[in-house]
Structure 1
């Protein structure tokens, strides 16, 4: 087997690892700035409810290290997982949706960390609205790449039926991609307009529909696929 064939059989984690390193450097710099500028007794918002109101606060150290540690663990986990699953060649062929999710989540966490520290230092940025807008971008990216995936165990609409039928995989991921793209567009258009409780309801309902409908549809397609 040639060197190129071996490479194509595995998802290359280097773009995700580079993005992880960049995110850690950026959040580390933000944390260093926060350590120097936030008072020791500061109470930092750590979680927001559906109404957009803060429902949990954390201390200075917790707020400065939690998200960077999560990003470090996420990067290591996502780098290892493709090596532990079957259908590696299909996983490599589906790299764009995997990397879009990986990098998109890193961007989301980095912005959340930055806004959290800025607000703790006296800023007044609309955290929930910013998160919803970023989720909109992430859903649009995932929606674009999902129809281009091939049957694998870690990226796309993965059900017993899509893993057993290429036809079910293609159609379910095409539908899932459309639903995710529509949800992403709606979130982008409404993130800074509608009331936060309504925005949260849109995000929750849209995510549920985008997750459940393709699963049911994959079963329906699988039933009619003679090659399953």
Structure 2
């Protein structure tokens, strides 16, 4: 593959990931995605990642933009253009003590659709705004952070008082450590910057992210116009697998 253009002899499958993306890659003997020329395409059919997958999971990848599809053997193949001057993504599934080391490497999908600005909600600090329109059901942002089991209790007083905690699947919670709450310290994902709102236009849902693995994502529950402040209601029941 040259700058995202598939070679004529390269033949892959489409692997549905969840409602928010799909993966084009060769299968291994276990019918899992595996190869060095795989393409993950986000739900917007524009943002993507080109890279290496092993046994169904990304190892490394470069941010890319879809240019077109070509038809080969009756199958659509994506033709991508790698975004220049961008560092490589590395897969990292968060634990209770650590999260992605690439804290200042933005997500290509969020870069195309979101921006951070002072919130229009009094005393809310920063908020996430839509730079493009979203439809009901669209992915808005990833909510990555440390993942902690409630069964083990809260390991610190900082976590007990955190305003960023989100309930997740299997009695787990996701939180952004205090040192990463500012956009000057962490921009790898922006889901933690959405404002809690009773008049919410989005919800938290389980998602399978190519870069972060199993996390929470923020998803639109109605059509949203550009420049709108984005926010779910943290008191709502979280929708997961």
Q: TM-score range by the shorter chain?
A: under 0.3
Q: What TM-score does the superposition give when structure 2 sets the normalisation length?
A: 0.25
Structure number, greater radius of gyration: 1
Bigger share in strand: 2
Q: What TM-score does the superposition give when structure 1 sets the normalisation length?
A: 0.26
Bigger share in helix: 1
